[in-house]
Structure formats: structure tokens, C-alpha cells
């Protein structure tokens, strides 16, 4: 949870580790990955792992879902005014393509919201049909 992220990061800084040296990696179990990223950002972390379409996961932890979807992370960061340099439309199209090749729906909330067409995908702007 976001509270646990803050607690861990507090312990890391108390141990003398600069948060500039920390990267965070979240699975989207319980839909908490973006909340955890926000907690990390608020604490001072600026590097986060993600994967297009949320691909990946942990075969050893049966309850763990896929990784944080890059398109969801980019949407959050852009909405916060943080430049990523990522073309979100292209990323969404790539994630849709990967999901179709794998024969499963994308777990990405941005892919679900925007679909596969060109959308001028930007937080704060309505997607055009």
C-alpha cells in the first residue's frame, strides 16, 4: 500500500540511503501500483520500473498480478506535469497489439479507456472518437 511504501522509504532514508539512488518496482496487485508510485514521488523517488501492457509478473507469487503498465505510469506522470518523452498514443497501440498477439486483454487502465485508435491521448483532454 502507499502507506507501506512511505514506511519503507522512511526506513531507507534513516539508514542513510539517498532516494536518488532508489528505483521502485510495483506489481498492480489490488490496483495499488499507481497509488504506490504517487507515494514514492511524494517521498522523492524519481525512477520507477514498468512494462508495456503490464507484461510480466512473478511465477513464484501466485497472487501477484502483472507489472505496472507503462502507459498507466505515463498517464499519471503527464497528469502531474512530469515530462516523460513517451508517445502515449504509440505506446497504447503497441500494448493493444501485444495483447492481441497474446490472446488476452490488456490489464492497462489507459488501454481500456483509450482503445486502439489514435486518440491524442493526454490527461485532461477528452479522447476523440
DSSP 67-106: BPBHHHHHHHHHHTT------HHHHHHHHHHHHHHHTS--
Catalytically active residues, by annotation: 58
Tens of pLDDT, residue by residue over 22-58, are 999 999 888 999 999 999 999 999 999 999 999 987 7
C-alpha radius of gyration, the chain, whole number = 15
Tens of pLDDT, residue by residue over 96-116, are 999 999 998 889 999 999 875
Q: Determine if the pTM surpasses 0.75.
A: yes
Answer yes or no: are the C-beta atoms of 67 and 82 closer than 8 Å. Answer: no
Residue 71 has pLDDT above 60, yes or no: yes
Residue 121 has pLDDT above 90, yes or no: no
How confident is residue 59, by pLDDT bands cut at 50, 70 and 90?
low
Amino acid at each position: 500500500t502507499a502507506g507501506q511504501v512511505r514506511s519503507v522509504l522512511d526506513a531507507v532514508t534513516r539508514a542513510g540511503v539517498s532516494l536518488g539512488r532508489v528505483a521502485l518496482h510495483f506489481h498492480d496487485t489490488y490496483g495499488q501500483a499507481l497509488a504506490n508510485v504517487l507515494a514514492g514521488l511524494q517521498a522523492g523517488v524519481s525512477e520507477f520500473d514498468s512494462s508495456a501492457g503490464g507484461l510480466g509478473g512473478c511465477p513464484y507469487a501466485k497472487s501477484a498480478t502483472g507489472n505496472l503498465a507503462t502507459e498507466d505510469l505515463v498517464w499519471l506522470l503527464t497528469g502531474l506535469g512530469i515530462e516523460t518523452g513517451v508517445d502515449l498514443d504509440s505506446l497504447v497501440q503497441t500494448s493493444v497489439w501485444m495483447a492481441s498477439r497474446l490472446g488476452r486483454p490488456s490489464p492497462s487502465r489507459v488501454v481500456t479507456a483509450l482503445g486502439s485508435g489514435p486518440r491524442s491521448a493526454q490527461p485532461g483532454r477528452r479522447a476523440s472518437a
